[in-house]
Structure 1
Amino acid sequence: MPEYSDMEMIAYTGSRVLEDEKIVFVGTGLPIIAAMHAQLTHAPNLYMIYEAGSLAPVLDMGMPLSVGDTRAARKAMFLKGLCSAFELTQRGFSDYAFIGGAQIDMYGNICSTMEGANYDKPTIRFPGSGGAGAMAANCEKTIAIMALEKRRFVNKVDFLTSIGFGDGSPDYREKAGVMGSGPYRVITNQALFGFDEKTRRMMLLEVKPGLTPKDIQEKVSFELVIPPVVKEMVEPSDHDLSLLRDVIDKDGYFLKKKVQK
């Protein structure tokens, strides 16, 4: 198999998760790359919502560098601004929310606000939700994307920015007044996770070739649900890498970033 980077593996796996004839609300960076790759391969009728207000733009001027990039508005079938974009999700017109974060727990709750015990004096202050909090609350399913590091996969998030299954109770999301079925997939450079239907805990689905479920568990602070059969992650082909490197992110704005070792 050809050599690929961690970011390329994340983007390619994100593409594999997306389906044709669906609508995905994308965040900046790897989610956009994954969605563009899916459009160019197995999901030509995948449509993207951008936070700045566009739905289903034609990205023939290249990859938008942010959700507010004017390229994300080109030939869009809907272009009415931020509030209208989120109204679409509240009306049930988004199958997936595709978001990132700094921390995630076993129930798919995501923190992108801060790290530390004191909100007023955090160890690290992150950029915050952007639109991710509303996306996780209103879109039908949430796909999270981040590097596999123990500091990110924590027992309890330091701040609940984007709602998942809360404390894992069956009616948590309903009582919280949010829509959608909640967390669906967590995509990393070394593993693909889903969620157990009964317990709502994070479940290991696939591991990178050469690794074992034990290797993945050692990089997660909480106990994973590990089924009897765990598949190997599909690796990107030369064609996939060519699309990622030479067509989508030609300047390596996002794909050349490194995962902290």
Structure 2
Amino acid sequence: MTFTRTETMVVAGARALEGRRVCFVGIGLPNIAVALAQRTVAPGIELIYESGVYGSRPNRLPLSIGDPCLVTGSLAVMPMAELFQYYLQGGLVDVGFLGAAQIDRRGDLNTTVIGDDYHHPKVRLPGSGGACDIAQNAREVIVLMRQSRRSFVDTVDFRTSPGSRVARVITDLGVYTVGERLELTALHPGVTLDEVRAATGWDLDLAPGVTETPPPTAEELRILREELDPERIYLR
């Protein structure tokens, strides 16, 4: 059975939600991971999207945070202000699930600009949206992102979201836990430690006894490839 590193990353992200009840989902890669979790390890998980939807069970992957499919089967739809104030700031969110363009060794996230000059950046990104609020108010945060020296940097170009509640980072190369710094705890199948070091913009910290991520199962791959992303928009 063959699988890609992106598929391994998404599966690892979905498995991290086992036993969780309320998850505030950021746009991007977290969408496909939570969709897989709903169909496998966390069928009762209640998804929140910043557009004002609680308890979403979308029947397909959303194209944006305003996609009407997010309302499908939801428990409640409300103004964004109420969602953030009553649920997120009220301490009712177990886990925030975010992506990012950059992360540093402390877990700080950047989704705002690439480059030193905010007013004239190399790349201007979508910005915070609800990410900063999620990062500060969810009980813990999981980050899902692809890893390279451009994304794993010593210091983020712009600190969009603080890393104080980031507990786990899952990339296409491995899995990290976060205390004072990111610490590699697992390598994905077929990934070498040298590859991870080459894709990290600081001296890598290793957990005692780095393990290997369990590979995706045939059923997880079937759901990803046939039900969730047959056109491989997320899984490219």
Please classify the TM superposition score into its range, dividing by the shorter chain length: over 0.9
Aligned to 1:168: none
Length-normalised TM-score, structure 2: 0.94
- 1:36–1:7 Cα change, 3 Å: same
1:122-177 Cα shifts (integer Å, max 9, x gaps): 11111111211111111111111111101111111110001113xxxxxxxxxxxx
Q: CA deviation at 1:245?
A: 1.3
Between the aligned partners of 1:251 and 1:24, the Cα distance in structure 2 is 26
**How do 1:89-104 residues align onto structure 2 when only pairs under 5 Å count?**
89-104=88-103
Between the aligned partners of 1:243 and 1:203, the Cα distance in structure 2 is 30
Listed as ranges, the gaps of 5+ residues in structure 1 are 166-181, 257-261
| 8 Å contact kept, 2:148–2:200 | yes
Q: CA deviation at 1:21?
A: 4.2
Percent identity, aligned pairs only, is 34
Letter in 1 for 2:133: A
Q: CA deviation at 1:63?
A: 2.4
Aligned to 1:178: none
| 8 Å contact kept, 1:115–1:124 | yes
| 8 Å contact kept, 2:8–2:188 | no
Q: Which moved more, 1:76-85 or 1:86-95?
A: 76-85
1:9-68 Cα shifts (integer Å, max 9, x gaps): 221111011123421111223212111111111111111001111111233x32222222
Q: Does 1:247 align with 2:227?
A: yes
Q: Does 1:189 align with 2:172?
A: yes
Aligned to 1:86: 84
| 8 Å contact kept, 1:54–1:79 | yes
Aligned to 1:235: 215
1:87-109 Cα shifts (integer Å, max 9, x gaps): 21100111111111111101100
Letter in 2 for 1:69: D
**Runs of 4 or more above 6 Å deviation:** none
Between the aligned partners of 2:72 and 2:188, the Cα distance in structure 1 is 37
Q: CA deviation at 1:224?
A: 2.5
Between the aligned partners of 1:215 and 1:73, the Cα distance in structure 2 is 41
Q: CA deviation at 1:214?
A: 3.7
Aligned to 1:77: 75
Q: CA deviation at 1:188?
A: 0.5
Aligned to 2:163: 164
Letter in 2 for 1:195: V
Q: Does 1:29 align with 2:28?
A: yes
SS at structure 2 position matched to 1:42: coil
1:58-88 Cα shifts (integer Å, max 9, x gaps): 33x3222222211111231121022222121
Between the aligned partners of 2:2 and 2:190, the Cα distance in structure 1 is 14
Between the aligned partners of 2:92 and 2:210, the Cα distance in structure 1 is 33
SS at structure 2 position matched to 1:101: coil
| 8 Å contact kept, 1:16–1:38 | yes
Listed as ranges, the gaps of 5+ residues in structure 2 are none
- 1:229–1:119 Cα change, 3 Å: same
Q: CA deviation at 1:221?
A: 1.1
| 8 Å contact kept, 1:8–1:241 | yes
| 8 Å contact kept, 2:28–2:99 | no
Q: Does 1:210 align with 2:209?
A: no
Q: CA deviation at 1:250?
A: 3.2
Tell me which protein shows more strand as a share of its residues. 2
Between the aligned partners of 1:119 and 1:231, the Cα distance in structure 2 is 40
SS at structure 2 position matched to 1:215: helix
RMSD value over aligned CA atoms? 1.5
| 8 Å contact kept, 1:18–1:43 | yes
Q: CA deviation at 1:3?
A: 2.1
Length-normalised TM-score, structure 1: 0.85
- 1:195–1:119 Cα change, 3 Å: same
- 1:185–1:149 Cα change, 3 Å: same
